[in-house]
């Protein structure tokens, strides 16, 4: 039996969260929060003199029904980076606890660990960038609280094997976080609805990628209602601003366009994959379930710099384990990809 309280920091278990009157009443003659009764300073800012909803019930309900979970299984944050930060705040005692990450992977898991003075144990992905399940289980000790998995993985672009993920969720003695930032570009089903069956599972998603809304900063964590309660207790009182909440809700009126754009990105991903394969300096292109490609090439650093010299910015990932000589290239529009391909034709090596 999984005992959540064994993993939650004692000070967080006993925390009395900030309480505003808006937690209880969102409508009425609102004289509770010292807002400016004269309103916002311009017509196009109408309504913004009010604090946003602290619990974001409407948005959480919308996301819940889209991902086939209940609203109490959904936390919304200022990007999934906020959810990552909150995981440390809830579960990891600074200077004491540890997490496991599986490099090469998304950088914020260890940056956030460093911010919180939490130890990081690294168990590298191997054999086609898959997790080493036995090594992860062996590495986890009494102080290990979180395991971060990223599927599809950034920067490698591949899905983690389903059986391996499930064995880890079953056997890892702590919280397993699956970051699904790129899931909508893949053929794999999301794990979000599995939070019903797995009390130690947290699934992260974001509107920054498939929804095309990186500018609004809206990330989601899916988990058991008990874990989400802790997120709600620890988060800043009004963590989602009113403009973001409105844009996120509006996006759900345009799901057909979102799906069409995902299809377009996948089509361009395939085209870019094939075209990049034509260059003699390209050694390998990793197959991708995301909106980017990891490309191994000769003289990657020089090519990276030459592209930057032409105002084409890609990401050099050659210092990541297993990514020697690799650039990570976001799939652009058709025109953008053509510009990139033309620039690559002209690199001098
Ligand atoms: C795997 C992964 N998780 C999370 C994020 C950040 O998401 P957000 O924009 O919601 O903070 C990124 C962004 O690149 C990412 O690659």
Among 106, 216, 244, the mutation site with the greatest number of ligand 1 atoms within 8 A of its Cβ is 106
155 with 189, same domain: the answer is yes
Point out the domain boundary residue: 204, 227, 254.
254
Q: Which domain holds residue 212?
A: 4-254
Same domain, 201 and 95: yes
Structural domains of the chain, count: 2
Alpha-carbon gap, residue 221 to 180, rounded angstroms: 10
Cα angle, residue 216 at apex, residues 22 and 45 outer, rounded to 5°: 60
User: Residue 274: which H helix or E strand, with range?
Assistant: helix 255-276
- Cβ of 181 below 6 Å from ligand 1: yes
Let me know whether 160 and 194 are in one domain: yes
| C-alpha atoms less than 13 angstroms from C-alpha of 349 in its C-beta half-sphere | 14
CATH number at residue 145: 3.40.640.10
| Cβ-based neighbours of 99, under 8 Å, separated by 6 or more | 88, 92, 109, 113, 118, 119, 120, 121, 144, 145, 146, 147, 148
CA of 82 to the centre of ligand 1 (A): 10
Q: Count other Cβ atoms within 10 Å, centred on residue 76.
A: 24
Residues in the chain, overall count: 349
Does residue 324 share a domain with residue 302? yes
- CA–CA dist 61, 67 (Å, integer): 10
Q: Alpha-carbon torsion 127, 131, 133, 134, what sign?
A: positive
With a 6 A CB cut-off, is 206 part of the ligand 1 pocket?
yes
For residues 30 and 156, give the distance between their C-alpha atoms in angstroms, rounded to a whole number: 50
Q: Do 268 and 236 fall into the same domain?
A: no
Between CA 2 and CA 7 the distance in angstroms is 10
**pTM exceeds 0.95, yes or no:** yes
Ligand 1 neighbourhood includes 153 CB (under 6 angstroms): no
**Claim to verify: residue 236 and residue 88 sit in the same structural domain:** yes
**Tens of pLDDT along the chain (349 residues)?**
899 999 999 999 999 999 999 999 989 999 999 999 999 999 999 999 999 999 999 999 999 999 999 999 999 999 999 999 999 999 999 999 999 999 999 999 999 999 999 999 999 999 999 999 999 999 999 999 999 999 999 999 999 999 999 999 999 999 999 999 999 999 999 999 999 999 999 999 999 999 999 999 999 999 999 999 999 999 999 999 999 999 999 999 999 999 999 999 999 999 999 999 999 999 999 999 999 999 999 999 999 999 999 999 999 999 999 999 999 999 999 999 999 999 999 998 7
Domain boundary among 254, 272, 307: 254
- Based on the fold, state whether residues 247 and 266 are members of the same structural domain: no
Same domain (yes/no): 125, 145: yes
Say whether both 211 and 304 belong to one domain.
Answer: no
Task: Find the CATH number of the domain harbouring 301.
Answer: 3.90.1150.10
Residues 266 and 248 in one domain: no
């Amino acid at each position: 039996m999984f005992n959540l309280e064994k993993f939650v920091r004692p000070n967080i278990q006993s925390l009395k969260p900030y309480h505003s009157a808006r937690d209880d009443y969102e409508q009425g003659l609102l004289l509770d929060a010292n807002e400016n009764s004269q309103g916002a300073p311009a017509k196009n800012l109408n309504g913004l003199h009010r604090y946003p909803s602290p619990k974001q019930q409407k948005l959480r309900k919308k996301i819940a029904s889209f991902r086939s979970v209940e609203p109490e299984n959904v936390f919304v944050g200022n990007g999934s980076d906020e959810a990552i930060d909150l995981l440390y705040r809830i579960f990891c005692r600074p200077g004491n606890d540890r997490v496991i990450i599986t490099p090469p992977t998304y950088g914020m898991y260890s940056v956030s660990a460093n911010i919180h003075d939490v130890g990081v144990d690294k168990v590298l992905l191997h054999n086609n960038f898959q997790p080493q399940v036995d090594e992860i289980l062996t590495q986890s000790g009494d102080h290990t609280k979180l395991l971060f998995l990223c599927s599809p993985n950034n920067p490698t672009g591949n899905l983690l094997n389903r059986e391996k993920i499930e064995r880890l969720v079953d056997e890892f003695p702590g919280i397993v976080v699956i970051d699904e930032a790129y899931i909508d570009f893949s053929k794999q089903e999301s794990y979000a609805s599995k939070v019903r069956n797995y009390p130690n599972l947290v699934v992260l998603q974001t509107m920054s990628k498939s929804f095309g809304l990186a500018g609004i900063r809206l990330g989601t964590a899916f988990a058991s209602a008990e874990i989400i309660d802790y997120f709600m207790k620890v988060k800043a009182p009004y963590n989602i601003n009113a403009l973001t909440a409105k844009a996120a809700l509006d996006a759900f009126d345009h799901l057909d366009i979102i799906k069409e754009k995902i299809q377009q990105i996948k089509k361009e991903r395939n085209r870019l994959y094939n075209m990049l394969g034509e260059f003699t300096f390209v050694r390998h292109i990793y197959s991708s379930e995301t909106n980017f490609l990891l490309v191994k090439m000769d003289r990657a650093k020089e090519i990276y710099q030459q592209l930057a010299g032409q105002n084409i910015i890609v990401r050099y990932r050659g210092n990541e384990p297993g990514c020697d000589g690799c650039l990570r290239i976001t799939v652009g529009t058709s025109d953008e990809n053509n510009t990139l391909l033309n620039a690559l034709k002209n690199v001098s090596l």
